[in-house]
Amino acid sequence: MAASDRKIGDMPPVIRQLDDGAINRIAAGEVVERPASAVKELVENAIDAGATRISVDVVAGGKALIRVTDDGCGMLPRDLPLALARHATSKIDGDDLLDIRTFGFRGEALASLAAVGRLTLTSRVSGHDAAMVRVAGGRMEPIRPAALRAGTVVELRDLFYATPARLKFLRTDRAEGQAITDVVKRLAMAEPGVSFTLRDASDGGNDRVVFRVDAEQGELFDALRARLSRIMGTEFVANALPIDAEREGLRLVGYAALPTYSRGAAVAQYLFVNGRPVRDKMLGGALRAAYMDFLSRDRHPAAALFIDCDPTLVDVNVHPAKTEVRFRDPGVARGLIVSALRHALAEAGHRASSTVADATLGVMRPEPLGEPARVYQMERAPRSLPPELPADPGFAETAPVYARVVEEAEPAPEETSHPLGAARGQVHENYIIAQTETGMVIVDQHAAHERLVYEKLKRQMAETGVAAQALLIPEIVEVGADECDRLLSVAEDMTRLGLTIEPFGGGAVAVRETPAILGEVDARAMILDILDELADQNESTGVLARIEAILSRVACHGSIRSGRRMRAEEMNALLREMEATPHSGQCNHGRPTYVELKLSDIERLFGRT
């Protein structure tokens, strides 16, 4: 680089003290990234003030106006100027920065907003007169009397007018408005006992209500379920599993959706720590790991999870925006999420999303008359046959033929009382039709048996471990001293998965054994992948994921194939095994293995209601 390009010349630079205006604008750049950031700070202040009703009005996506009104405790007139000063707060005394029990604690938000916009602060404490103060571009006007029933109103106009270059980085009014809506919804999830209203006060908006929820009543789970139903939708709540688990001082509560209720992007994942909405990479990775065995890579789980703990166990003072946190023991937090969600998914058994049935009914249309469907008679096998499904069914391959519908005796009541009912037929060589007490079930025989075989293989692996194959010549992988230590810290876990590594000296490791089920592997590439995962989320699931992918393929090839005819006993045995096997409601890729249709829905489909 040429000398003329240097920022500092040969002479020692002059060190200057920045003025308050410059300091506030720099702080604003960290705290207030966009209008949604301003809304977040102001609404969090309202929650900290004990508000039970919070109203947010915006114009032009928050660029022209943000007004937050609350019914909290308010501020005395003499405290208004101090509230607008940098690093002035009523929430901590500065003695213990680890014992943070409020959303805000830095004392930067109001000062930062006043430095880049035109801010008016109006407040009243019960039993005292209301007062207001205005600040524009960092210049404060005298305090004046005001009219206000209770609480506080913060009005921010012309955001970033004092730093016009920042305006060029904002998106459209619509996009900024959507970001504000997302912020308000997240905070509303964290506070079910508070009413929230978001209005668009633009000229064309006519004070249109964008979002509104009233305070919920009841105990924790009842209030949370009602609030999530209003924000994430009734379908999410209907297809979500309640989560309540504790580990080493951390408690996890919330709701996590069934794998068959997944999304195409991570847009329905909400994580909270001590009530604070966070976007934490470690917690997000734990959520993905919990569903790793149930969803394909292009599907994402839906969940709203809340971790509560003593404030001293988590550092929220990591970033000015306070959206990142750092746990004293991140492994405990991650393990809590993974184990709690996997336990809940296992407890769900064969349950699948109710939206599958809704989608099925939605695509059903009357078909023109034509060739009849291939319907096979259920041939009764001798009663001496064992009821369980054979490990290798060995169904006879037959050419597809049309068959008449055969009248069968009504199944016994005890048969239809099973959750998946009693098998009544097989159509198109792949789908089992079963009758239940309240409707019918359609089962994808291949997908269902694939999941059953896969779960059996996983149980066997857990009981006997992963077989390892020794390398004739250990492969030496140079990774560096720090990476070597990181690898050796998980060496015991890797050994249980069939991968044996040992220190070789000089920042290298020796790979002595690899998982036999993987066949010939590139040991160096595997080690580097593990290191990448450890750097990204402090835990590696790469080897396990590859092993489970192999097991999944083995299960696919060892399962009942499409096009094979099944006897009634075999179909019923499959249904009973599905009912007894966790996760059998979805295949290895997260797709449903069966669809349940209620008789009332079927009758409505045919206009019989």
The DSSP 8-state label assigned to residue 474 in this structure reads E
pLDDT number for residue 107: 59
Give 10-residue mean pLDDT values along the chain (609 residues): 52 70 62 88 92 96 95 93 76 55 67 88 95 87 94 94 81 94 96 96 78 92 94 92 94 93 90 91 90 83 94 78 81 92 87 64 55 49 42 43 41 74 88 91 90 84 83 91 87 84 90 85 85 70 70 67 82 92 82 87 79
CATH of domain 220-347: 3.30.230.10
CA–CA gap between residue 309 and residue 306 (Å, rounded): 10
What tokens were used for 391?
Answer: 């490990």
Q: What is the fold, at CATH topology level, of the domain defined by 20-213?
A: Heat Shock Protein 90 (3.30.565)
CA–CA gap between residue 109 and residue 44 (Å, rounded): 10
SS3 content of the chain, % helix, strand, coil (to 5): 35, 20, 40
Do domains 20-213 and 351-364+409-609 share one topology? The answer is no
pLDDT number for residue 175: 94
Contact indicator for 32, 25 with CB cutoff of 8 Å: no
pLDDT number for residue 590: 75
Q: Tell me the CA end-to-end span of the chain in Å, nearest whole number.
A: 81
Contact indicator for 491, 508 with CB cutoff of 8 Å: no
pLDDT tens per residue, range 324-383: 788 989 889 999 999 999 999 888 877 766 666 666 666 555 555 455 545 455 444 443
Kindly report the pTM of this predicted structure.
0.73
The DSSP 8-state label assigned to residue 564 in this structure reads B
pLDDT number for residue 539: 62
Residue type, 65: L
Give long-range contacts, CB 8 A cutoff, 24+ apart: 354-358.
Answer: 354/235, 354/238, 354/239, 355/235, 355/239, 355/260, 355/261, 356/260, 356/592, 356/595, 356/596, 357/595, 357/596, 357/597, 357/598, 357/601
Nearest CA to 431 among 374, 359, 380? 374
Question: How many CB atoms neighbour CB 335 within 10 A?
Answer: 17
CATH of domain 351-364+409-609: 3.30.1540.20
Query: What residue spans define the domains of the chain?
Result: 20-213, 220-347, 351-364+409-609
DSSP string, 68-88: EEE-S----GGGHHHHTSTT-
Angstrom distances, CA of residue 119 to CA of 23, 84, 176, 467? 17, 10, 19, 67
Phi and psi for 33 in degrees, rounded to 5?
A: -80, -35
